[in-house]
Structure 1
Amino acid sequence: MGDERTRRAVAAATAAARDLDLTVTDPVVLHDLFSVVVHLAPAPVVARVPTVVPEPLRADTAAQATRMLDELDVVAWLAGRGFPVVAPSPLVPAEPVERDGFAMTFWEHLDVVPGAHPDHLRETAALPGLHAELAGYPRELPLLTSLDDTIPACLTQLRDHPELIHPDELDRARREWDLLAPVVTTRAGLRKEFPGIRLQPIHGDSPVYNVIATTSGNVYADFEMTCLGPVEWDLALSGEEAVDAYDTAAAVLGRPPVDRRLLTVMEAGRMLQVVACLALVPRLPQLADGLAGVLDQWRDSPIAGGLTDEHAEAPEPETEPAKAGTREPFA
């Protein structure tokens, strides 16, 4: 199944690239997990084609397009300011393309240092610089896109898969979402629970694990989940030593230290996101081994980072500000 999925994604990316007047004769798959990432050689362009996504997002092409547009816009803005990122390819329009049932984006191809493994502690110490830069991003972003209705939808799917998660554990996960959702899914909920919380544009998906070592230096990649949120979300599950390194570097830049209680709640959200990812295992069996360590950590952690029913009272309704401008879903 995986081989066929990969073949179809590569074929779609190749056809889409040729439609954009790129010369593609020898496509090379660089990465294949949730997305197929393919160098469209000899063109200096890389296509990223999401192939395994939660069901609600897979069925909502407009939502997929909006997320891709957000990523392209944020990264293009960072690149324009000279920040080290994998930038959208300048050879094609910076917009998502749909082809043969796949949505995809196109990125510049960089020379990667073979076998390089970035130092995650050092990269965490560099992360305040990324957050300081992102704080100036001028457009509106959605709140914590990883903590949305895909989580309860995936938990519902898991009712039919007791071989993936014990029913008692699934009950815990559902109770945990009931506690977390009123706090983490709205700005009002976050501000009620964490008065004075600072929300800003963030990477959204473990940025220190999305650093690529190139011959020109390290660059940040994969802003697929870029969103509005606390910086603590980007630090979830990084470990106490890394958080201390972040605080030391943040102080130099005049930025506030990590809120440890908020970090604990963000880590609860991150672990619950991993639990929900079990719903993708039937489509991506190799994912099971990769999730095992975090699942063990989740089992030993306090439910919802210590939130209780008292904290889960629904906040006042709020209206999310509209995004600036109007966007077409796909090119």
Structure 2
Amino acid sequence: MSPLQTAEQLARRTRRACAAALRAATALGLSATRARVLHDAFSVVVQLEPEPVVARIPVVLTGSSDSDAQHSRQQRELDVAGWLADRGVPVVRPAAQVPRRPVRQDGFPITFWELADLAEDHQPYRGADLAYSAELHARLADYPGRLPFLAPFNLGLPELLDQLRPGGLLSAADLDRVWTEFHAMRAVLSTAEAFQAAFPSATVQPIQGDAPSHNVIHARNGILFSDFEDVCMGPVEWDIALLGRDATAQYDAAAVRRGLRATDPDVQQLMDSARRLQFVGCLPLIDELPMLAPGLAQAVQEWRNSPGWSDQTGSW
């Protein structure tokens, strides 16, 4: 793995992303003169002042590093968010001032969004009631476009796992377990058909793909769903993985009220295990985003203390 990025290197990356966003905005006809940073983590998010337009520039990639795959991923996000917005679902809308498609500028993949009117108490990643997730699933269920199956696991995770090496937070035995679990789970999660053969009573549908309860904007007029980068087909259990029994019960009550199925405990157990493995796979990203280190160290320890999924295969 590469050395940790220094504070100056991180700041330089942010400046480069801001400059790329301004150049892309100008090329699209926007009168942007300044990129004001709103958020800087996996993506640099900037308002293109004085326009009411936000650019999101991924700088730490949890998906494929292939530029065509990145384009497809961002296009899916714009398509789904736009489709939801056109039907009155409270989402962060794609910017109306530019075409609904990603652009690439100076090596950065960029998408453009409407500026949200944030509530005074908005905090990034602050969760929302699980009833919102059930409502989102109810609205997503009718999405007609084609989506990959469980994209974060099948399209993003393999490339990250290939970068893992023993040392630091992972021992050689840990790495062996990582691959044993991944291959065991991949046998069930590689396709919708394989999943439904293992869990015939569980349905799949379009899902947000990355904990929708924590990917919301607290706006002055209410909750707005955001960050559909990982939108895909899958069981709803993926979207509430690792949130715990109380959250699952809260989701189930809301889902049943909306005519959706309640979660399946066996599927939830598998999704929790797959999500833990995804966190382990993010270890190489610490080099690019050092702030991840404490949380991922805890995630690795929780994964290490959990039952190995290969030990649970008899329950399929």
TM tier relative to shorter chain? over 0.9
How much does 1:149 deviate? 5.0
Q: Is 1:146 aligned to 2:152, yes or no?
A: yes
Letter in 2 for 1:152: P
Greater displacement, 18-27 / 233-242: 18-27
Alignment match, 1:82: 88
CA distance 1:11–1:185, shift in 2 (3 Å): same
Post-superposition offset of 1:237: 0.9
Counterpart residue type for residue 288 of structure 1: A
Question: Where does structure 1 lack aligned partners over 5 or more consecutive residues?
Answer: 312-331
Written as runs of structure 1 = structure 2, the 5 A alignment for 1:244-263 is: 244-263=249-268
Hey, what does 2:272 align to over in structure 1?
A: 267
The letter for the 1-side match of 2:163 is: Q
Aligned to 1:324: none
Shift of residue 119, structure 1, vs aligned partner: 7.0
Match of 2:36 among 28, 32, 43: 28
Superposition RMSD in Å: 1.8
Q: Output the TM-score relative to the length of structure 1.
A: 0.88
Which of 160, 166, 170 aligns to 1:165? It is: 170
The equivalent of 1:326 in structure 2 is: none
Task: Say if 1:305 and 1:81 are closer, same or farther in 2 by CA, change over 3 A.
Answer: farther
Match of 2:246 among 241, 252, 256: 241
What are the superposed Cα offsets for residues 63-103 of structure 1, whole Å, 9 maximum, x if unpaired?
A: 11111111101110100000000010000001000000011
Does residue 1:175 correspond to 2:186, yes or no?
Answer: no
User: Normalising by the residue count of structure 2, what TM-score does the alignment of the two structures yield?
Assistant: 0.92
Residue from 137, 140, 145 that aligns with 1:134? 140
| Structure 2 residue matching 1:40: 3-state secondary structure | strand
Alignment deviations for residues 157-204 of structure 1 (CA, whole Å, 9 cap, x no partner) = 222x51242222111111110111110111121012101221100000
- Distance in 2, matches of 1:258 and 1:149, equals 24
Match of 1:57 in 2: 64
Match of 1:14 in 2: 22
Who is 1:302 aligned against?
Answer: 307
2:57, 2:310 → 1: CA distance?
Answer: 34
User: 2:209 touches 2:231 (CA, 8 Å); kept in 1?
Assistant: yes
Shift of 1:28: 0.9
For structure 2, list consecutive stretches of 5 or more residues without a partner in the other structure. 1-8
Tell me, yes or no, if the aligned pair for 1:125 and 1:242 is still in contact at 8 Å.
Answer: no
Distance apart, 1:309 and its partner CA: 8.0
Q: Which amino acid aligns with 1:21?
A: G
Cα shift at 1:294: 2.4
Query: Does the 8 Å CA contact 1:143/1:228 hold for their aligned counterparts?
Result: yes
Structure-2 residue corresponding to 1:124: 130
How many residue pairs are counted as aligned between the two chains?
307
Are 2:48 and 1:44 aligned? no
Shift of 1:25: 1.9
Contact preservation (8 Å) 1:180, 1:307: no
> CA contact under 8 A between 1:46 and 1:108: conserved in structure 2?
yes
Residue 35 (structure 1) shift: 0.9
Select which of 186, 190, 196 maps to 1:185: 190
| CA distance in 2 between partners of 1:178 and 1:112 (Å) | 43
Match of 1:282 in 2: 287
Structure 2 equivalent of residue 195 of structure 1? 200
